[in-house]
Chains A and B, each alone.
Chain A
Amino acid sequence: MTDDAAVEAPVTLRETRETSAASPARLDTHALNAYFGAVHAIKDVTLALPDRRVTAVIGPSGCGKSTFLRCLNRMHETIPGTRVSGRVLLDGADIYAPGSNPIRVRRHIGMVFQRPTPFPTMSVRDNVAAGLRILGKDTPGKRETDAIVERALQRAALWEEVKDRLGASATALSGGQQQRLCIARALATEPEVLLLDEPTASLDPLSTQRVEELVYELRRDMTVVIVTHNMQQAARVSDMTAFFLSGEMVEAAPTRALFTTPADQRTEAYITGRFG
């Protein structure tokens, strides 16, 4: 399993894209507020998401952790009646600045959802290549696309399982495979940041383990933010953990510190299972 992920893809074709990842990407939020109509869902969250680390966002249902994640790639605003204020800096540039294009932002900040969302009309290969096709004149040619697809599938630890059926419908894969396919699809465009919204909530324990191992591997070359209900999962995969409660960020600290010596009483109450 980890062996697959560790297999290095032929790098030759990818050299040019690698250079952009060399400059450290980092995501910062400053006084971030999000609203659903009149409901104040995220209150004044200021948080730095360290580069090449996994940050876990935990908290009870409805605490705003998914909304927070969706603010990071401007997906929140796709729901009618929603509003965002404050700043989110990607490499120091505010993604909410006037003139900033949400489409472009989302190409740099990938996202994977709770339920696997392969495009049912597309083959396995075309699903992974979906994000490459819309790059306009930067869309790679067929051979380069094939190489990128293979590499993305290898990084998502799915290559060995699907290499003989790249032309098959993506819906023919199992749930766990579909989720890794979605991760591969998000990785294909080489985003600087990957947002995972409860990526294992609909998976069985074995598939969950695979995705967790994958997340652990991904930190090598990107910034990962993972929302999870599962505190063990947060403890297993993350370097830093942020605890959310009713729209506020209560505490953010290195994972080990947060779980062993929480600074806030509410955090302690939550992680010791007194509520939520």
Chain B
Amino acid sequence: MSTPLVARPQVPPRRPRPSQSQRAFAERTQRTLWRRRLVNRVMVVILGTAAIVATLPLLFILFHLVKEGASAISLDFFTRMPKPVGEAGGGLANGIVGTLILVGVAAAIGLPIGVGAGLYLAENGRTRLANTVRFLSDVLNGLPSIVMGIFAWQFLVRPIGHFSALAGSVALAAMMIPMVTRTTEEMVRLVPVALREAALALGYTRWRTSLTVVLRTATAGIVTGALVAIARIAGETAPLLFTAFGNQFWSVRLSEPIAALPLQIFTYAVSPYDEWHALAWAGALVLIALVLLISLAARFATRARFGGMGD
């Protein structure tokens, strides 16, 4: 491996001078090279360390969860209800199903609204309404999740008079909407104007162009954004505290309080019982596995070559 000399125009000596100055020059060049190599090494080590440290928390958490929680995971964990304190065994079937229902309903509410709003923002970006919506949606995105819970409590729990799965889903959907709105807008904006014009020139109406050409071209990106949003709300605890509330028993009804994994993890983790601690660890492990699975699905969705073609 030969390193080329530092590119410096070699000025021919005006007078035939002894090689002393030349030697000095070569020495200086060598020293500069040395310094550059050293700086390069040091920087690579520093940045590499930062990169590793950035992923350490995840590795650490995973390691810990597997160590503490894996023993509690069995078929029972997924199929059985929690047992009263003191009895061995039992699972978190209600929490797992509850989380799936909560997230599913939240996605059913949040996705159409988020994608619709994003499409509107991308297509009518300069109107005053669009600017307002964009700003508010950014504010909403930064709002603490517990505030979403309070919002849902105020509008759904209090008027109805009791906690419900629906209220929890609405709180989660409210968290999801701004995320989906902004990613949809970004993705739709990436679709070239030329494509839109090509569709219009073929005699497509404006809405048809938006739906069949623009939205479809942006689908992979939108799906990824949606899955990331779903993964994020799946682990939320705060918005559920006084909306879905949690439920010790089996319930799949939207109008009743419903169990949720994050809530159960919280309850079990702060309890004084060892069996419950194990369940909390296992619950956390399952939750992370779920999020990981969704992230992988997002990866897969972006890689899909061209969106499933019809007829």
Interface membership of A75, Cβ < 8 A: yes
Interface membership of A158, Cβ < 8 A: no
Fill in one digit per residue for B294-311: 1 if any A CB lies within 8 Å of its CB, else 0: 000000000001110111
Interface membership of A103, Cβ < 8 A: yes
Number of interface residues of B (CB under 8 A): 23
CA distance A211 to B305 in the complex (A): 29
CA distance A75 to B167 in the complex (A): 48
CA distance A106 to B307 in the complex (A): 27
Task: Please judge, given known A-B contacts A126-B309, A134-B202, whether A115 and B194 are in contact too, CB under 8 Å.
Answer: yes
Task: Please judge, given known A-B contacts A117-B195, A121-B307, A134-B208, whether A186 and B217 are in contact too, CB under 8 Å.
Answer: no
Q: Are A103 and B205 in contact (CB under 8 A)?
A: yes
Contacts of A110 in B (CB 8 A): 201-202
Q: Are A134 and B204 in contact (CB under 8 A)?
A: yes
Task: Please judge, given known A-B contacts A113-B197, A142-B311, whether A121 and B306 are in contact too, CB under 8 Å.
Answer: yes
Fill in one digit per residue for A78-114: 1 if any B CB lies within 8 Å of its CB, else 0: 1000000000000000000000000110110011010
Interface membership of B199, Cβ < 8 A: yes
| CB closest chain-B residue, reference A122 | B309
CA distance A119 to B208 in the complex (A): 14
Interface membership of B61, Cβ < 8 A: no
Q: Are B203 and A111 in contact (CB under 8 A)?
A: no
CA distance A142 to B311 in the complex (A): 9
Q: Could you say which of B194, B203, B310 contacts A103, with CB atoms under 8 Å apart? A: B203
CA distance A130 to B311 in the complex (A): 12
Contacts of B141 in A (CB 8 A): none
Interface membership of A189, Cβ < 8 A: yes
Question: In chain B between 260 and 311, which residues have their CB closer than 8 angstroms to a CB of chain A?
Answer: 305-307, 309-311
CB distance from B13 to the nearest CB of A (A): 51
Fill in one digit per residue for B191-219: 1 if any A CB lies within 8 Å of its CB, else 0: 01011011111111100100001001101
Contacts of A219 in B (CB 8 A): none
Q: Are A106 and B202 in contact (CB under 8 A)?
A: yes
CA distance A182 to B202 in the complex (A): 10
CB distance from B125 to the nearest CB of A (A): 11
CA distance A111 to B203 in the complex (A): 10
| CB closest chain-B residue, reference A75 | B201
6 residue pairs from A and B, CB less than 8 Å apart: A75-B201, A106-B200, A106-B202, A110-B201, A120-B195, A169-B305
Seen from chain A, the residues whose Cβ lies within 8 Å of a Cβ on chain B are: 73, 75, 78, 103-104, 106-107, 110-111, 113, 115, 117, 119-123, 126, 130-131, 134, 142, 167, 169, 171, 182, 185-186, 189
Q: Identify the 3 closest CB pairs spanning chains A and B, nearest first.
A: A107-B203, A117-B198, A111-B201
Seen from chain B, the residues whose Cβ lies within 8 Å of a Cβ on chain A are: 192, 194-195, 197-205, 208, 213, 216-217, 219, 305-307, 309-311
Known contacts A113-B201, A167-B309, A186-B202; 7 further A-B pairs (Cβ under 8 A): A106-B202, A117-B195, A119-B198, A123-B306, A134-B208, A186-B201, A189-B203
